[in-house]
């Protein structure tokens, strides 16, 4: 099975000015594509030849894991963006209020976690097996599915996600990022 780069769910300039078309051209067009290409070069002849991305993420290690997880993580990241950042009343808003007190407080805790993550990685909103919402960090290509958690939303804090637009100012990227989250999509991911 050959893995493919999924189409972006919006135009390449749709996230402007928060994420520029130039960043998309590198982050989606080069980095995300490279993970797909690397994975397609690595899996032939291994037991993962006919596996899904999720199976590979749960079972593989090393380069195959890293590239498969990065393909999945980026697709998940892009799909969670392209919205207006408004969380409408509903199941997700209720759960966020229950577990974080308020949407504003959730954003503060998430942003702090994303900003303080050392090195390259991802900040995630996840749901555990009991339905509790949590914020977790993963390093490099890490994915919360490996810890039995259901990802709901993620922010890529690898430097390639923000360096063109924000240089070293990761907190500014995260602050602006809230304005383009597609909370409707995130709510659909709830179990
Ligand atoms: Mn990335």
Q: Ligand 1 centre and the CA of 138: distance in Å?
A: 13
pLDDT (tens digit, 9 = 90+) per residue, 29-81? 999 999 999 999 999 999 999 999 999 999 999 999 999 999 999 999 999 99
Domains present along the chain, CATH in parentheses = 21-79 (1.10.287.990), 91-188 (3.55.40.20)
- 139: burial class by Cβ within 10 Å (0-12, 13-18, 19+)? exposed
User: Sign of the C-alpha dihedral, residues 138, 81, 180, 90?
Assistant: negative
Asked, as a colleague might, if the bond just before 126 is cis with ω within 30 of 0, I would say no
Distance 98 CA to ligand 1 centre (A): 31
Give residue 166 CA to ligand 1 midpoint distance, Å: 15
Q: Write down the pLDDT at residue 1.
A: 61
The Cα–Cα gap between 80 and 174 comes to 14
């Amino acid at each position: 099975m050959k893995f493919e780069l999924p189409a972006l769910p919006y135009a390449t300039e749709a996230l402007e000015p928060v994420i520029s078309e130039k960043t998309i051209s590198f982050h989606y067009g080069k980095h995300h594509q490279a993970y797909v290409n690397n994975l397609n070069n690595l899996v032939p002849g291994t037991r993962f030849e006919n596996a899904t991305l999720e199976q590979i993420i749960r079972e593989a290690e090393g380069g195959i894991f890293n590239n498969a997880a990065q393909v999945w993580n980026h697709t998940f990241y892009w799909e969670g963006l392209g919205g207006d950042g408004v969380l409408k009343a509903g199941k997700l808003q209720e759960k966020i209020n229950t577990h974080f007190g308020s949407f504003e407080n959730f954003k503060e805790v998430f942003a702090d976690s994303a900003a303080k993550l050392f090195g390259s990685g991802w900040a995630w909103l996840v749901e555990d097996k009991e339905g509790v919402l949590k914020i977790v960090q993963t390093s490099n290509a890490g994915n919360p599915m490996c810890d039995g958690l259901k990802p709901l939303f993620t922010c890529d804090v690898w430097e390639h996600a923000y360096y063109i637009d924000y240089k070293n100012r990761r907190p500014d990227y995260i602050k602006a990022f809230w304005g383009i989250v597609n909370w409707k999509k995130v709510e659909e991911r709830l179990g």
